[in-house]
Structure 1
């Protein structure tokens, strides 16, 4: 047989680009509804933040430009026109609230659909006794949602900080701005990852969906609550004060104390042509964020290590070959 004939009959090996293995694709397909739900949450949060950065702050900006802080305070008392008493000031904190709820939701997902449901149904035993090692199965179960949680939460945190830096002068002073300023940061991402690890650990230890959901949800909620005011290293158990620079600008460019005018006549009397106001960066922000992030990441690492140790106790043992 000639060489060309041999080349024609020999099947060619198709080269493919490297990609996720079958276990990763299986995890993605099995939990695609949860992935879409998470993607929707991230998209809605980013969309709201972009809207607040742009047209959503229009009325509050006009009110501030006219009367300074008094104008922003008055704008916070009037609905945007949607009939639900939604203002720029109230909507600004919604993504932070959603992030806290999302951390609990991630923990519940990990405790229930991701791990405990497969343990209860027994489907994981079939995978373990065939071609998937238990450790590799758990690694894929952790890696896929951890990547999604990290990317999504990081995008929200970065955009939130940008919007905060540019629009915090429109917020009414009080606990709200202080809570937001000290809450949004790398610890927000670590908190969500801790919820994931805690949910997985609870599912492997309890091996029942409902008890695992209860332990994971309550544990993640308490961790988020302690972040606010009660970490042991915070001493006073309160968030520090957030300094604010607030001034009125005269026609000569001089900055004076904001007289709190509510009418144009008052502005003319004080020769005021503009206002400036913004929250100053706090020296306590990064020490608190780094400390909280370190504690949460350490707890996450301990939970993951404990999960693999628990898995070793329950994985099926291979039967020794008879002599």
Structure 2
């Protein structure tokens, strides 16, 4: 019948004009001119939803999805700490504007500042000094070890993604976020500490915690310890054991850094004055490292040389030719250079450790 044939033709035409194909991202593309999706004549079906837009795609998104809780906590703690430092700076600046920022001869301003802000700065620097170890223990060590322990890493071998791309994404995103967080923390605390550096922690920028909490050292130490935690996790393949090993290694590294490395990053200055003269007048902000007895030609003896009773001590010094005392110190202008040198050493070690991780990942199955 003619009516039926006409309807059939209309239906076929609509069907052909409504043909669509997948674009590979979950959306549909029409076959009409210009690539527009055709609109149904009846209006019965809703148009396909647009593909979701993400900041991260592929492997980086998968790494974020797997570790989003730890990474989100790190970002939130960083923002909270930065906000706290900004708030604390208001009180510090009010004090400095009213009282001054340089210690007076009697030390009264220094003691007043300690009474008001010493606990605050001590808490801040203690937290920042623990950040590298905390990141290494609770994030670095489980990063690959958890995948090995639960067997999820074996899925890599069954996917089209190569092991090299997987390990690069697994390391790259977390370490990038660690760099971002520690840069923000270091910058915010430097902003708080710099105006009061001669008063905060009694002006001790080396041993008071400011050296590790400002500048590039915090970032470099975090990267080094975290990369070591990752390496321990990959080798041990058990999360708890890797965390314990990382904690022990972090404690040993902190001890070696403090006792053996840090002081040697700068050049010691000598201040010589007569043995019976007035005390040394070192530059403001300097940190005394050692104290010596010396002869006129510069030969040094330990400070405990000739410490017997007075008459015997005088004879001992006369016999050895001791006529001077020598103070060895580091001055504040060296701080930035020392920090960058130390950070460079730590970053070089980080590259070696990460290189070992990549080599080990390619050398044998994880």
Which residue is 1:114 aligned to? 143
Distance 1:180 1:140 in 2: 34
Q: TM-score, normalised by structure 2?
A: 0.63
Verify: 1:296 aligned to 2:346, yes or no: yes
State the shift of 1:25 in Å: 1.6
Q: Check 1:75–1:161 CA distance in 2 against 1; reply closer, same or farther (3 A cut).
A: closer
With the length of structure 1 as denominator, give the TM-score of the two structures.
0.71
1:282 alignment partner in structure 2:
332
Partners of 1:204 and 1:140 lie apart in 2 by 15
Q: How far 1:192 moved relative to its partner?
A: 0.4
* Residue of structure 2 aligned with 1:187, choices 217, 221, 233: 217
Partner secondary structure for residue 131 of structure 1: coil
Q: Does 1:244 align with 2:274?
A: no
Distance 1:214 1:55 in 2: 40
Q: Is it true that 1:49 corresponds to 2:85 in the alignment?
A: yes
C-alpha contact 1:112 1:212 (8 A) present in aligned 2:
yes
SS in 2 for 1:93: helix
Q: Once the 2 structures are TM-superposed, how far is the Cα of residue 42 of structure 1 from its aligned partner?
A: 0.8
Q: How far is 1:177 from its partner?
A: 6.5
State the match for 1:140 in structure 2. 169
Question: Which residue does the alignment assign to 1:25?
Answer: 61
2:114 maps to 76
Helix, strand or coil at the partner of 2:222: helix
Please identify, of 36-45 and 12-21, the stretch whose mean Cα deviation from structure 2 is larger.
12-21
Change (3 A) 1:240 1:155: farther
Shift of 1:8: 4.4
Which whole-Å CA distance do the structure 1 matches of 2:79 and 2:55 have between them? 26
SS at match of 2:208: helix
Question: Which SS does the other structure have where 1:144 is aligned?
Answer: helix
1:309/1:239 CA distance change after superposition, 3 Å: farther
Deviates further, 200-209 or 180-189: 180-189
CA-CA distance at 1:28 after TM superposition = 1.2
Which residue of 2 is the match for residue 208 of structure 1? 238
Larger radius of gyration: 2
Answer whether contact 1:112 1:209 (CA < 8 A) is retained.
yes
Higher relative contact order (CA 8 A, sep 6+): 1
How many residue pairs get aligned? The number is 272
Query: Which stretches in structure 2 are left out of the alignment for 5+ residues?
Result: 1-8, 22-27, 30-49, 272-281, 286-329
* More displaced stretch, 228-237 vs 193-202: 228-237
| Cα displacement (A) at 1:181 | 4.0
Alignment of 1:3-14 (within 5 A): 8-11=18-21, 12-13=28-29
Change in 2 beyond 3 A, CA 1:111/1:212: farther
Give the distance between the partners of 1:98 and 1:172, measured in 2 at CA: 15
RMSD of aligned alpha carbons: 3.6
Cα deviation for residue 98 of structure 1 reads 1.6
Query: How many Å separate the matches in 1 of 2:184 and 2:265?
Result: 31
**Conserved 8 A contact 1:230-1:237:** no
* Contact 1:46–1:156 (Cα < 8 Å) also in 2: yes
For 2:270 and 2:81, the matched residues in 1 are separated by 27
